[in-house]
């Protein structure tokens, strides 16, 4: 559990740290311009942050479900990459259910988030209680496992929710002029929004968010650039977030979105497979 979970959490938080509180949908895509993309994407062009957040959020919520894959890389360790595959379902009342599977060089971690429950599956759990690889993380629970893992799992699942990835855009984001491009042959519009960490610190009242950004600033990291590609219906196709500053490296998270509106399989694990942590 330790390294895969913590590594995945850190890279997902990188995407979430462009946000202040629930905002609109993220997305992104790999560049590849084409004249065919111009006319198809032009009709969907958004001209400012407010339009962007409103339109993308509405488009995502209308579809309700999505599958996405994410890869995170650090220029200091180009051979290493933490990868995740996630299914999301937007529920009533602003809730999100998700199934997230994270893999890196040391193993696989699976997280199920339901509106009121969290479950965690790791190889360490299986070794500790054979046949019962799952643990339930109880928000507000008194057991040590829940106390330690609740904030990690909550932030991890929040970070995998694209509707939270751009909430800081309005108060701390620089909005560049959109340009037509393609994503895997699909006409798209690319939006670039760069979030200034100092501006986020000045604007947010969320202690967790403020503390994270202040820590980054102390480490000479100053901004997170979001490159977001939307289709003609303002749905995310791909989203790339790159952190920079007065440092000798960059951290990048690259996410691809597929199958908007198609069925997802998100459910609590069988009770017989849920063990109790020794801690």
What's the pLDDT at 102? Answer: 85
What's the pLDDT at 128? Answer: 87
Residue 279 lies in a domain: no
Which residues form the domain of 103? Answer: 2-273
Name the more confident of 117 and 217.
217
Residues of the chain with pLDDT > 90, as a percent, come to 22
What's the pLDDT at 39? Answer: 43
Q: Which of 85-99, 115-129, 132-146, 178-192 shows the highest mean pLDDT?
A: 178-192
Q: What is the pLDDT of residues 13-72, one digit of tens each?
A: 333 333 332 333 333 333 333 444 444 444 458 988 888 888 888 888 899 999 999 887
Cβ distance 204 to 20 under 8 Å? Answer: yes
135: pLDDT strictly greater than 50: yes
Q: Which of 89-93, 115-119, 147-151, 263-267 shows the highest mean pLDDT?
A: 263-267
Residue 190 lies in a domain: yes
What's the pLDDT at 153? Answer: 58
What CATH number did the domain enclosing 107 receive? Answer: 2.50.20.20
What's the pLDDT at 257? Answer: 93
* Per-residue pLDDT band at 148 (split at 50, 70, 90): low
Q: What is the pLDDT of residues 173-188, one digit of tens each?
A: 788 889 999 999 999 9
What's the pLDDT at 261? Answer: 96
Residue 86 lies in a domain: yes
Three-state SS sequence of the chain: CHHHHHHHHHHHHHHHCCCCCCCCCCCCCCCCCCHHHHHHHHCCCCCCHHHHHHHHHHHHHHHCEEEEEEEEEECCCCCCEEEEEEEEEECHHHCEEEEEEEEECCEEEEEEEECCEEEEEEHHHHHHCCCCCEEEECCCCCCHHHHHHHHHHHHHHHHHCHHHCCCCHHHHEEECCCEEEEECCEEEEEEEEEEEHHHHHHHCCCHHHHHHHHHHHHCCEEEEEEEEEECCCCCEEEEEEEEEECCCCCEEEEEEEECCCCCCCCCCCCHHHECCCCC
116: pLDDT strictly greater than 70: yes
Q: What is the pLDDT of residues 228-259, one digit of tens each?
A: 899 999 999 998 888 888 877 777 888 899 99
Residue 247 lies in a domain: yes
What total of structural domains would you count in the chain? 1
Paired with 193 in beta bridges are 175, 226
Q: Which of 60-69, 129-138, 190-199, 260-269 shows the highest mean pLDDT?
A: 260-269
What's the pLDDT at 272? Answer: 95
C-alpha to C-alpha distances, 179 to 56, 233, 254, nearest whole angstrom: 17, 16, 19
Residue 267 lies in a domain: yes
């Amino acid at each position: 559990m330790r390294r895969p979970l913590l590594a995945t959490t850190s890279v997902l938080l990188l995407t979430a740290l462009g946000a202040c509180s629930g905002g609109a949908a993220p997305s992104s895509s790999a560049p590849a311009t084409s004249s065919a993309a111009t006319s198809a994407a032009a009709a969907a062009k958004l001209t400012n942050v407010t339009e962007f957040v409103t339109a993308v959020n509405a488009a995502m919520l209308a579809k309700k479900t999505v599958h996405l894959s994410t890869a995170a890389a650090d220029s200091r360790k180009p051979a290493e990459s933490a990868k995740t595959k996630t299914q999301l379902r937007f529920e009533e009342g602003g809730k999100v259910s998700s199934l997230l599977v994270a893999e890196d060089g040391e193993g696989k971690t699976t997280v199920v988030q339901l509106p009121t429950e969290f479950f965690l599956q790791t190889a360490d759990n299986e070794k500790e209680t054979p046949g019962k690889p799952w643990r339930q993380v109880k928000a507000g629970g008194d057991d040590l496992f829940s106390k330690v893992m609740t904030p990690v799992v909550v932030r991890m699942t929040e970070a995998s929710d694209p509707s939270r990835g751009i909430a800081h855009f309005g108060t701390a984001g620089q909005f560049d002029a959109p340009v037509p491009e393609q994503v895997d042959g699909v006409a798209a519009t690319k939006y670039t929004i760069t979030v200034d960490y100092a501006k986020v610190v000045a604007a947010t009242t969320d202690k967790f968010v403020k503390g994270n950004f202040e820590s980054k600033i102390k480490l000479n990291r100053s901004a997170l650039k979001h490159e977001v590609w939307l289709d003609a219906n303002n749905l995310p196709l791909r989203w790339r977030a790159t952190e920079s500053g007065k440092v000798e490296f960059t951290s990048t998270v690259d996410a691809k979105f597929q199958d908007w509106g198609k069925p997802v399989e998100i459910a609590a694990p069988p009770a017989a497979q849920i063990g109790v942590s020794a801690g």
